[in-house]
Amino acid sequence: MTGQPEAQARESLAGRVALITGAGVGIGRATALAMARAGATIGVHYHTSEGAARDTAETIRAMGRTAHVLPGDLSLEADASRVVDQLVAAAGRLDVLFNNAGSPIRMTPIADCPTELWRRVFDVNVTSAFFVTRRAIPHLKATGKGAIINNLTLSIQTCGSGGGGVYAAAKGALQVMTRTLAKELAPQVRVNGIMPGVIATAHHETFSTPAKMAEYVKATPLARNGVAEEVADVVLFLASDASRFMTGALLDVNGGRFLR
């Protein structure tokens, strides 16, 4: 039987460097802290949440770990490249990429969606991940044990209910990109995706009413909504050697919703 110390060793990220996009708040922050506790040096990216990102970095440093704060609009190719380049220059390598940043921006039925909003949602949720990933691939390959984790969404399964169809379409594109990259980058880099359910973060404070959140609880077999730390634990697993024979996987983290 496998002992606990051996299992913990497989989830260790000691000596590794992880870039987490949108690391100031929510799932990004929780994952940054989880990976830091596992021993990783963390690239804390942010676009608009500077104060939150700096707080995340200070919390990591208080653990005795290293954190680099990296601002940038990842929908701009130059910014995305700079974020990757700055982290590699500072830390010397890149082992893990968590493409977490994304947003619906605004809820609207597809029939009413302005062209500019459609393009912006795809830029924020797909093009940004493409720019960062493309720049990171040579560094991830160089380690021989690189890992990419893409943050997808429950909206893919709900078909973007409540006006989230554009967001769901963009995340659907990222889902296909995830599985394509898993084939293209094996065996040097593993690529997996997570599909969080309803997680109590600022995202739902913006896009879901308290009544809707209560409805979600009733529709979830585990009878509650999730918290960011529970998603972070799954991302840590996918980043670590504990998932070393997994690539191209899409893991639901949703309390059992959509069981059939």
Pair 72, 47: CB distance under 8 Å: yes
Using CA atoms, how far apart are residues 140 and 125, in angstroms rounded to an integer? 21
9: tokens are 């060793």
| Cα(227)–Cα(149) distance, integer angstroms | 18
DSSP state for residue 126 in the 8-state scheme: I
**Which structure tokens are listed for 102?**
């994304």
| Pairwise CA distance, residues 112 & 109, whole Å | 5
Asked about 216 being catalytic, the answer comes back as: no
Under DSSP, the state recorded for 37 is H
Q: Catalytic pick from 167, 171, 177, 192?
A: 167
Q: Is 177 helix (H, G, I), strand (E, B) or coil?
A: helix
Calpha distance 196→98 (Å, rounded): 14
> 75 CB contacts (<8 Å, ≥6 apart)?
120, 123, 124, 127, 128, 131
Task: Spell 230-259 as b/e; 16+ CB within 10 A means b.
Answer: bbbebbbbbbbebbeeebebebbbbbebee
Active site residues: 167
